[in-house]
Amino acid sequence: MKAYKTAIKEYTLKIDSKNTSFLKCKISKSRDAYEYIKQFYFDDIEIYESFFVLMVNRANITTGFVKISQGGTTGTTADPKIIAKYAVDSLASGIILAHNHPSGNEKPSTCDENLTKKIKTALEFLDILVLDHIILTENSFYSFADEGNL
């Protein structure tokens, strides 16, 4: 066996005890998800796109969230591998994808639809459900689940 001079990383499973101002909440419908996730956006919702993932347990109670990316005025990148990593690390039973459209148009793009399908397919193998993908605007939202697009 050939040894290399660089060390490998040790991975551990633990809950980050860092407190946030976001309390646990049961997500029962898409409006609940929209209102909860909208807290992550401040005065930047109409400036640039950001992509978040909200993790929930089997009872649909929020257990964590992560900001996946922040882009420009017309797009951002959401890597399915990174999303899967956070979903697995948090032992989520389900996730809700979310991103905003600064333009105010809540209609999903073809890229939004393709990404949602790709993430959903990947996580099915891990028994993690993609419960919804919410597109937020300042005053409204689009729910993939509500529109039968999930």
Burial of residue 23 (CB within 10 Å: 0-12, 13-18, 19+) is exposed
pLDDT of res. 100? 94
pLDDT of res. 42? 81
Q: What is the pLDDT of residues 10-53, one digit of tens each?
A: 555 555 656 666 788 899 999 999 999 999 888 888 889 999 99
Long-range contacts from 81-84, C-beta under 8 angstroms, 24+ separation: 83/53, 83/119, 83/123, 84/119, 84/122, 84/123, 84/126, 84/128
The pTM of the full predicted model, rounded to 2 decimals, is 0.86
Q: Is there a contact between 39 and 33 (Cβ–Cβ < 8 Å)?
A: no
Q: Which CATH number fits domain 30-143: 3.40.140.10, 2.60.40.2250, 3.30.460.80, 3.10.180.10?
A: 3.40.140.10
Per-domain residue ranges of the chain? 30-143
Nearest-angstrom CA–CA distance, 92 and 56: 6
